[in-house]
Structure formats: structure tokens, C-alpha cells
């Protein structure tokens, strides 16, 4: 995402400095006044998962909650700095997605207390790595396990509660995976297009094949102009009947993605919206379930779907 950065007012910066001077790095593992485990997540996606696993035994602060905030260029607020100074556990996506988090935590929250989702994913994080890990259900299962272990280490007496919550979360993931498996059975090998690689893990789990010219999605993700020939090829792809769905990220919409979307609609290619941040008043599991169901419905009605 490549949108305007939030501006940190001078007054808030001064407030943060004063607050942090009273909260040394050595105090970051202290429980919150109400006895809950303080967690700071880089985005509300991970914040919601931490809440599901921790239940009423954790106090979660998510740094990015707004849909117009760009993790690649985000500047933390005074509230974020104060929250991480009190955190016992941090959660970052890693993989170059939310580098601001390392700067936010530096000198305040030890790296050993931060869960780096890229590192626990088991995926190849080398060249071409897709850092949008919340669309990888196996990775989110691993994250739930990791958070359960860490919460239990901090509150051993609540081990059973954490284990129950982890099991419930993974059961929810299994239901989404079952929907994707059904999609794969019906539409394995069907071509799709994307404006960005955001939902690729989910699409691949459904057996779908990305046909988008790589230069198009790379340019959109990097916030640069798509070369004219690449844009033409992507627009023509919509009418080629080789793709059944266009996975569209409204959060990075621009003239070139709109042109592709209009071409898709004109060619009766189903357009399914995918986001980077959690929609308002939605849990992560409900959101992923809706994504899987929307994909299933779109493929079922697209003239280009099939094996």
C-alpha cells in the first residue's frame, strides 16, 4: 500500500518522550495493572488473532488499524510508543512488510519477545517472497500455536484457557480451509488475475493459477506506474477468457487498476475485493470465511471458470 503517511504532531512526540522516560526497557515484561498480558501487534489483523488466543487474559494494542495507513512507510504515534514500552509480547509480520515495528521496538522491547510471523511461517523468505502472510492459513495456525506457548509461559495457571482458545481458532481455520478445498475440487487450475499479490496464498490454496503479468502487480505494489505495454496486456487478459476472477485491492486503487477492473467487468470476469487490514467490526476468522465464500461464489458464476 502506498498512501499518505500519518503526521506525528510535536506535542505528541514530547508526550511520548516523557512517558517513555518513566518506562524503561527493563519493565517491558511487567503485567498491566489489571494483570493482563500486554501485547502490541503491528496491524489489527495480528491484534485480532492475539485477542482470540489470549481472550480476556490479554490487553492488545494494534499499531495499524486504519485502511489508509501504509505499513511500508508508517510512522508510529505517541500512543504506539507508550504501548510498546509496556508490552510483554510483540507481533510483527516481518519480511519487509512492517519494518517500522523494529524501529518502534528498538531499545524498548527485546527481540526475543517479538513474534516475527515470517520467521515462524516455514516459507522461503528469499527473493520473490510474498509477505502478505495473513492469507496463509497454515502460517496463522503456526502463529496461534506460538502465541499460546508464549502466553502460557507468562501465565502458567491459565494454560488450559489458552489451549482451548488455540484449538477454537484452529477449528475456525479448518472450516475456511474446507471451503477452499471444495473450491479446488471444482475449479482446480482455473486462471485468476490480481492487482497485487496480497491474496495469493489464499488463491493458491484454492487451486487457482495467477495469470497476471508480473510487471503489472509489481508496479502496483511498489506504487509506480505500470508500463504501457504491460497495462495493455493486463487489460487484454480480462477478455481472453483465460481468467475467471480478478482479485482486487481497493486500498491501493488508482487509474490503472480501475482500468483493469472496468475491463474485467466488461468481459464478465468476476471481481472479488481483498484487503490488507481487518474490516471494521470483523474478526479475522469471519473475514477469511467471507473471502473464501466470495471466491467460491465468484468462480461458480464466472463463464471462464472450470478446470
CATH for 194: 3.40.50.1980
Q: Is there a contact between 203 and 299 (Cβ–Cβ < 8 Å)?
A: no
C-alpha cell at 243: 481468467
- Whether residue 288 is contained in a domain is answered as yes
Gap between the Cα atoms of 154 and 30, Å rounded: 10
> pTM for the full model?
0.87
Look at residue 165 and tell me if it is in a domain: no
Grid coordinates of 129? 517472497
C-alpha to C-alpha distance for 88 and 270, rounded to whole angstroms: 44
pLDDT, position 51: 98
159 domain residue, yes or no: no
Half-sphere exposure of 121 (CA within 13 A, CB side): 22
Q: What's the confidence (pLDDT) of residue 252? A: 86
3-state secondary structure of 35: coil
Q: What is the pLDDT of residues 234-261, one digit of tens each?
A: 999 999 999 999 999 988 899 999 999 9
Residue 127 burial by CB count (10 A; 0-12/13-18/19+): exposed, middle or buried?
exposed
Identify whether residues 276 and 186 lie together within a single domain: yes
Same domain, 143 and 185: no
Between the two ends of the chain, the Cα-to-Cα distance in Å is: 33
> DSSP letters of 188-205?
TT-EEEESSSTTHHHHHH
What pLDDT sits at residue 71? Answer: 80
d(CA 35, CA 54): 13
Whether residue 147 is found in the same domain as residue 181: no
Max Cα–Cα distance, the chain, nearest Å:
63
CA-closest candidate to residue 268, choices 251, 290, 246: 246
Residue 51 lies in a domain: yes
Total number of domains constituting the chain: 2
Report H helices in the chain. 10-21, 44-54, 78-85, 100-105, 117-120, 137-154, 159-187, 200-205, 214-222, 228-238, 255-266, 284-301
Q: What residues make up the domain containing 275? A: 177-301
Same domain (yes/no): 129, 262 = no
Tens of pLDDT, residues 168-189: 999 999 999 999 999 999 999 9
Asked if residue 106 and residue 70 are part of one domain, the reply reads yes
Residue 131 sits in the same domain as residue 24: yes
Cα distances from 6 to residues 14, 21, 63, 105, in angstroms, run: 17, 24, 12, 19
Question: In tens digits, what is the pLDDT along the chain, a chain of 307 residues?
Answer: 444 334 344 344 433 443 433 333 333 445 556 789 999 999 999 999 999 999 999 999 999 988 777 787 788 889 999 999 999 999 999 999 999 999 999 999 999 999 999 999 999 999 889 999 999 999 999 999 999 999 999 999 999 999 999 999 999 999 999 999 999 999 999 999 999 999 999 999 999 999 999 999 999 998 899 999 999 999 999 999 999 999 999 888 999 999 999 999 999 999 999 999 899 899 999 999 999 999 999 999 887 665 4
> 128 and 46: one domain?
yes
Q: Which of 154, 186, 208 is the last residue of a domain?
A: 154
pLDDT of the residue at 26: 35
Cα separation, 153 vs 291, in Å, equals: 34
- Whether 111 and 51 map to the same domain: the answer is yes
SS3 61: strand
Span 207-242, pLDDT tens digits: 999 999 999 999 999 889 999 999 999 999 999 999
**The C-alpha cell that represents 45 in the structure block:** 489483523
Amino acid at each position: 500500500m502506498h498512501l499518505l503517511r500519518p503526521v506525528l504532531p510535536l506535542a505528541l512526540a514530547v508526550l511520548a518522550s516523557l512517558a517513555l522516560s518513566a518506562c524503561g526497557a527493563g519493565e517491558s515484561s511487567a503485567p498491566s495493572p489489571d494483570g493482563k498480558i500486554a501485547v502490541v501487534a503491528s496491524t489489527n489483523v495480528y491484534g485480532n488473532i492475539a485477542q482470540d488466543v489470549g481472550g480476556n487474559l490479554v490487553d492488545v494494542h494494534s499499531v495499524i488499524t486504519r485502511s489508509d495507513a501504509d505499513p511500508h512507510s508508517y510512522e508510529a504515534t505517541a500512543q504506539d510508543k507508550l504501548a510498546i514500552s509496556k508490552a510483554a509480547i510483540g507481533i510483527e509480520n516481518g519480511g519487509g512488510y512492517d519494518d517500522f515495528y523494529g524501529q518502534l521496538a528498538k531499545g524498548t522491547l527485546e527481540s526475543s519477545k517479538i513474534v516475527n510471523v515470517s520467521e515462524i511461517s516455514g516459507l522461503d523468505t528469499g527473493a520473490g517472497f510474498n509477505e502478505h502472510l495473513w492469507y496463509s492459513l497454515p502460517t496463522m495456525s503456526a502463529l496461534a500455536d506460538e502465541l499460546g506457548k508464549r502466553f502460557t509461559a507468562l501465565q502458567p495457571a491459565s494454560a488450559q484457557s489458552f489451549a482451548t482458545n488455540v484449538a477454537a481458532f484452529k477449528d475456525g481455520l479448518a472450516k475456511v480451509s474446507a471451503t477452499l478445498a471444495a473450491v479446488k475440487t471444482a475449479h482446480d487450475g482455473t486462471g485468476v488475475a490480481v492487482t497485487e499479490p496480497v491474496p495469493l496464498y489464499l488463491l493458491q490454496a484454492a487451486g487457482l493459477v495467477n495469470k497476471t503479468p508480473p510487471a503489472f502487480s509489481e508496479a502496483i505494489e511498489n506504487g509506480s506506474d505500470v508500463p504501457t505495454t504491460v497495462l495493455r496486456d493486463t487489460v487484454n487478459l480480462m477478455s481472453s477468457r483465460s481468467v475467471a476472477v480478478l482479485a482486487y485491492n481497493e486500498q491501493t486503487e488508482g487509474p490503472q487498476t480501475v482500468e483493469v477492473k472496468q475491463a474485467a467487468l466488461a468481459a464478465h470476469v468476476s471481481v472479488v475485493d481483498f484487503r490488507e487490514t481487518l474490516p471494521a467490526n470483523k474478526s479475522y476468522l469471519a473475514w477469511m470465511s467471507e473471502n473464501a465464500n466470495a471466491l467460491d461464489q465468484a468462480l461458480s458464476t464466472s463463464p471462464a471458470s472450470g478446470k
